[in-house]
């Protein structure tokens, strides 16, 4: 087993470190800079739809939520994202011009599979964004975009998540080019950022000592709060999910702008607050949120863009990630949050790869 872990103490850590080459697998062969597009080998016509429904569970759901921002930004198409167990029991308005995208690492999650069936009953076309080859969902969707993350053993998903984000970016370019909402020049500059992602994730991994320091400082905390805005809101939710899954520390996530409507009441000097404060048009607003937390005694751990010295004035701890397009910041920002959950769980002596009560794939309702 030790050799299967490639010298790492846990599968989860190994999988976290595999992310640079996984992203290379997801993206590398599909980017077509010369043609200002992507080659996904899909049969579906990306210009045939007027709305997108994304369905998924757990970590894959947060990848879907990021996907919504990507699709809105690059393809200007209305997108709804649902947890599959809700979608399958509501009465979604679906027709022949709906593309339903199911995101799943295992391709076996029963709620996601049933959500696909629900969309098909309404006449939607279906696309799976899947890791496991030949899995149940791939057999029921019209088309599959494999994320090529390789087998993921750790119950808490890491490399499949960032690969799903890469895949959603590809789908957004594919639709954006077909719909004429993404110009050649815009596409080329976005593709250049995608091309750089594996190297940027490698750099993000180098921040592990700083993350370990934060974990050490706060591993006795009873609660954690994660805040982020816009495309980094789902990152906050995924960070909180990772932490609760493997450390069993209660963690709550909120869109930062919504903090004033409730979670602000929780803030005191015992509450570590992780704030996604990477470069974005909403950066100043996020800094205001940090100041509100600080004014109430909260401890701020900011995830910020390399080179941002200003943020040190506001946050007690800063975890730096490499600069990329704001639309791709969720990919590099996932890394320190995965490491924070990992280091915290190890300090608390938890079973990192097999957390209690959780299953890698949930095939029964």
Closer to ligand G6P by Cβ: residue 309 or 357: 357
Nearest to 102 by CA among 63, 160, 155, 76: 63
Number of residues this chain uses to bind ligand G6P (CB under 6 A): 17
Q: Which of residues 45-64 bind ligand G6P (CB under 6 A)?
A: 57-60
Q: Under the criterion CB under 6 A, does residue 105 sit at the interface with ligand G6P?
A: yes
Closest-approach residue to ligand G6P (CB): 58
Closer to ligand G6P by Cβ: residue 58 or 234: 58
Q: What is the CA radius of gyration of the chain?
A: 20
> What secondary structure letter does DSSP report for 336?
H
**Stretch of residues binding ligand G6P (CB under 6 A), selected from 29-37, 99-107, 203-211, 297-305:** 99-107
Q: Under the criterion CB under 6 A, does residue 157 sit at the interface with ligand G6P?
A: yes
Q: Under the criterion CB under 6 A, does residue 338 sit at the interface with ligand G6P?
A: no
Scan for tokens 């949120």, then name that residue: 289
Nearest to 194 by CA among 176, 178, 209, 207: 176
- Report CA dihedral (323, 326, 331, 334) to the nearest 10 degrees: 90
Q: Under the criterion CB under 6 A, does residue 158 sit at the interface with ligand G6P?
A: no
Q: Under the criterion CB under 6 A, does residue 178 sit at the interface with ligand G6P?
A: no
Scan for tokens 């597009």, then name that residue: 37
| Token output for 93 | 């308005």
Rounded CA-CA distance 9/297 in Å is: 36
Q: Smallest gap, in angstroms, from Cβ of residue 11 to ligand G6P? A: 13
Q: Beta strand 143-146 with 98-104: parallel, antiparallel or unpaired?
A: unpaired
Q: Under the criterion CB under 6 A, does residue 166 sit at the interface with ligand G6P?
A: no
Q: Smallest gap, in angstroms, from Cβ of residue 201 to ligand G6P? A: 19
Does residue 360 carry a catalytic annotation? Answer: yes
Closer to ligand G6P by Cβ: residue 148 or 299: 148
Nearest to 59 by CA among 181, 189, 201, 154: 154
Closer to ligand G6P by Cβ: residue 98 or 104: 104
Rounded CA-CA distance 67/56 in Å is: 12
Closer to ligand G6P by Cβ: residue 55 or 73: 55
Q: Smallest gap, in angstroms, from Cβ of residue 330 to ligand G6P? A: 16
Q: Please name every residue paired with 253 in a beta bridge, in sequence order, or none if there are none.
A: 226
Closer to ligand G6P by Cβ: residue 157 or 278: 157
**Stretch of residues binding ligand G6P (CB under 6 A), selected from 2-10, 23-31, 106-114, 300-308:** 106-114
Q: Smallest gap, in angstroms, from Cβ of residue 361 to ligand G6P? A: 5
Instruction: Report the chain's terminal Cα–Cα distance, integer Å.
Output: 31
Nearest to 102 by CA among 152, 145, 70: 145
Q: Under the criterion CB under 6 A, does residue 145 sit at the interface with ligand G6P?
A: no
Q: Smallest gap, in angstroms, from Cβ of residue 249 to ligand G6P? A: 17
317: Cβ contacts below 8 Å, ≥ 6 apart: 210, 213, 214, 217, 299, 300, 301, 302
Q: Under the criterion CB under 6 A, does residue 153 sit at the interface with ligand G6P?
A: no
Q: Under the criterion CB under 6 A, does residue 135 sit at the interface with ligand G6P?
A: no
Is the distance from CB of 294 to CB of 272 less than 8 angstroms? no
Is the distance from CB of 123 to CB of 84 less than 8 angstroms? no
Q: Which residues would be at the binding site for ligand G6P (CB under 6 A)? A: 57-60, 104-106, 109, 112, 155-157, 358-362
Kindly list the catalytic residues: 360
């Amino acid at each position: 087993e030790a050799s299967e872990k490639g010298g790492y103490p846990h599968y989860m850590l190994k999988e976290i470190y595999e992310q640079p080459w996984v992203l290379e697998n997801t993206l590398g062969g599909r980017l077509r800079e010369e043609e200002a597009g992507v080659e996904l080998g899909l049969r579906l016509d990306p210009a045939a739809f007027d709305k997108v429904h994304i369905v998924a569970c757990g970590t894959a759901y947060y990848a879907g939520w990021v996907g919504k921002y990507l699709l809105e930004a690059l393809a200007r198409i209305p997108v709804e994202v649902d947890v599959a167990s809700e979608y399958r029991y509501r009465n979604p308005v679906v027709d022949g011009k709906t593309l339903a995208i199911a995101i799943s690492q295992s391709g076996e999650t029963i709620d996601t599979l049933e959500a696909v069936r629900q969309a098909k009953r309404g006449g939607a076309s279906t696309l799976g964004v899947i890791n496991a080859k030949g899995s149940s969902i791939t057999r029921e969707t019209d088309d599959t975009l494999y994320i090529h993350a390789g087998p993921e053993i750790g119950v808490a998903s890491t490399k499949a998540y960032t690969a799903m984000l890469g895949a959603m970016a590809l789908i957004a370019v594919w639709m954006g080019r077909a719909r004429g909402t993404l110009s050649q020049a815009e596409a080329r500059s976005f593709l250049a950022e995608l091309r750089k992602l594996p190297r940027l994730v490698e750099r993000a991994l180098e921040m592990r000592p700083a993350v370990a320091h934060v974990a050490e400082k706060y591993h006795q905390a009873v609660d954690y709060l994660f805040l982020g805005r816009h495309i980094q809101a789902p990152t906050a939710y995924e960070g909180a999910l990772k932490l609760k899954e493997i450390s069993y520390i209660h963690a709550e996530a909120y869109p930062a702008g919504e903090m004033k409507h409730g979670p602000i009441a929780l803030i005191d000097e015992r509450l570590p607050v992780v704030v996604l404060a990477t470069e974005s048009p909403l950066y100043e607003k996020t800094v205001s949120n940090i100041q509100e937390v600080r004014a109430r005694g909260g401890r701020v751990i900011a995830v910020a863009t390399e080179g941002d010295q200003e943020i040190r004035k506001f946050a007690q701890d800063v975890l730096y990630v490499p600069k990329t397009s704001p639309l791709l910041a969720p990919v590099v920002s996932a890394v320190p949050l995965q490491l924070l959950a990992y280091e915290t769980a190890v300090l608390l002596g938890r079973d990192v790869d097999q957390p209690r009560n959780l299953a890698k794939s949930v095939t029964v309702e």
